[in-house]
Amino acid sequence: MNTPMSEVMEVINRYVPKGFTPKAGLILGSGLSSLAEQMTNVVTIPYQAIPGLHAGGVAGHASLLAMGYLNNVPIVCLRGRLHLYEGTAYSSIRTLIQIVRHLGASVLVLTCAAGSLLPEAGPGEVMLIRDHINFHPGNPLVGPNDESIGPRFVSMDNAYDRGLREIMETAANKLNIKLHQGVYISTLGPSFETPAEIRAFKIWGADAVGMSVVPETIIARHVGLRVACVAAITNPAAGMGTEDITHEGTLHYGEIAARKLVKLIPEFLQEMQHAAG
Ligand code: HPA
C-alpha cells in the first residue's frame, strides 16, 4: 500500500532543521555506515517513526534517516537500506526515495556491496556503476501512476548520470583511488548466485552483482533524481574466487572498500557542489 507522501512528510518535517535543504540523498550499503559517522550537525529519524516504512533487520544495517552535512554539503543519508529479500514491499522503497526528492535534493548517491565479475576488480576495491540489468522480480513502478510524481514511462538511458560519473572519476583521480567501471545486475537474494548463474550474467554483460540498487535507481529516475552509484567490491562472484561467499566475508571486505568510499563520496559531493556553481 502507498502511504500518501503528505502523511510521510508531515512526520519528516517535524525533524527537518530550519532552512535545511539537502543537495543529495545518500544510501549506504552493508558495512558502509562509517560514512554516516563523518556527518556533522546530524538530526536522525528512526525508520519506525516514518509512516509507510518498516525497519530493515540485516546485520550491518542501522535503519535511520540522517540529515546533516558531509564535507560541508547538506545531505540526507538513508542508513539502512530496505531490501526486497526481507519481504519489503516496493512501496516502502518508493517512500524512502520520494522523501529524498520531497526534501529538495536533486541527486541520489547509492553505495552498495557487490560481487565482482571482473577478475581485475578484487575484494576491497570500488566500482563506478555505469548501467544496470534489472534481474529483480518485476518493476517498482508497476501499478497506477501518479503523474504529479513522475511520468508513466521512464527513460533509463543515462540512468547513471554521465555528468555525475565524470565528477566521481575526477574525485577518484584526485584521491588516487582506482575506480573500476561496470554494469550492475540485481538479484532478489538472499541466497548468493550459483556459478552457473554468474556465467550466464557474464554473457549478458554484467560486471558486478548485488541485491539492491536497481529498484532504487528506477524509482529515483521516475521522480527525476540524477543517480550516481559506487559499489564496494566484497568478493569475486560465485565460482570466480577460491573461497565460499559469506555475509561475514562481505562485511570484512566492505570495510576495506569503505575506507576508500569514506574519502571518495565526500570529495565527490564537494566537486559536485563546485560544478553546480
Ligand atoms: N552476490 C550478490 N550480492 C552481493 C554479493 C554477491 O556476490 N556480494 C555482495 N553482495
pLDDT digits (tens, 9 = 90+) for 122-175: 999 999 999 999 999 999 999 999 999 999 999 999 999 999 999 999 999 999
Nearest protein Cα to ligand 1, atom 2: 210
What is the tens place of the pLDDT at every residue in 250-273? Answer: 888 888 999 999 999 999 999 999
- 182 CB within 6 A, ligand 1: no
Nearest protein Cα to ligand 1, atom 3: 210
What is the tens place of the pLDDT at every residue in 12-50? Answer: 999 999 999 999 999 998 777 888 889 999 999 998 889
Q: What is the pTM of this model?
A: 0.94
- 209 CB within 6 A, ligand 1: yes
User: In order of start, what are the domains of the chain with their CATH numbers?
Assistant: 5-9+16-275 (3.40.50.1580)
Sign of CA dihedral 250, 61, 56, 95: negative
Cα–Cα distances (Å) from 263 to 137, 151, 189, 193, 240, in that order, read 34, 36, 29, 31, 29
What size, in residues, is the chain? 277
Query: Among this protein's residues, is 116 annotated catalytic?
Result: no
Could you say which of 33, 47, 61, 237 is catalytic?
61
Residues forming beta bridges with residue 16, ordered by sequence position: none
